[in-house]
Amino acid sequence: MLERKRGLIVEITDGDHAGYRGTLYYDLAKMGAIRLALDMGEELAGKGVTAVAVTPGFLRSEAMLERFGVTEANWRDAAEKVMGFEESETPCFVGRAIAALAADPNVHAKNGGVYASWTLSDEYGFSDIDGRRPHWERYMRRKTNEILDRGGPATSEERFWMTAVYGMFKRDARYRELAARVEAIVGEPSTDFDPRA
């Protein structure tokens, strides 16, 4: 790539934020991918090679389909039981995000950044293989506000959700108002919450 003075390096991560991801080692691995893209972007600046990190939303991978006892043909059956799965995306969606980046003649403007499949879908106009355009951020905001509008989490699944999303956005300026709303209604969710309790 350096010899040809062109190329795209893509790190896959979880989340386009610096918030906590639930466990130390998982968070470290995912932030490491983001940091790797940033650092490579610095090192490769001006050399024609672009480095970015890309995150999918709730990934409807083969492993997740198996875990929930469904297939791609009937995945919506699990969406009735698993919060967030209705807004899941196939691996092809994040693949299309990467293809769109690779086809963009101005991709270098994104050098060193972290981008979400859903924001890239908004920018480049691609859809998932089922024609949907899942947008995890809009879903997360909507679902969190629905829970808060009812006065807070009512089930262990909703308490786990609130803990997970609060960890994600409590330090992210994009979610400052939502974090304050969680703190006002629920208090500060504990990161040691056991969803099985």
**pLDDT (tens digit, 0 to 9) for every residue of the chain, 197 residues total?**
999 999 999 999 999 988 888 788 998 999 999 999 999 999 999 999 999 999 999 999 999 999 999 999 999 999 989 999 999 999 999 999 999 999 999 999 999 999 999 999 999 999 999 999 999 999 999 999 999 999 999 998 999 899 888 888 888 888 899 999 999 998 887 655 444 44
Residue 18 near residue 172 (C-beta atoms within 8 A):
yes
In the chain, where does DSSP find H-type helix?
24-44, 62-67, 76-79, 91-103, 117-124, 136-149, 156-169, 176-185
Taking the model in full, what pTM does it have?
0.89
Both tokens of residue 185? 């209604």
State residue 197's pLDDT score: 42
Residue 192 near residue 160 (C-beta atoms within 8 A):
no
Closest Cα to residue 84, out of 189, 165, 21, 171?
165
State residue 188's pLDDT score: 82
Q: Domain limits of the chain?
A: 1-134, 135-187
Cα–Cα distances in Å, from 194 out to 159, 184, 197? 9, 22, 6
**CATH superfamily name and code, 1-134:** NAD(P)-binding Rossmann-like Domain (3.40.50.720)
Computed over every residue of the chain, the mean pLDDT equals 92
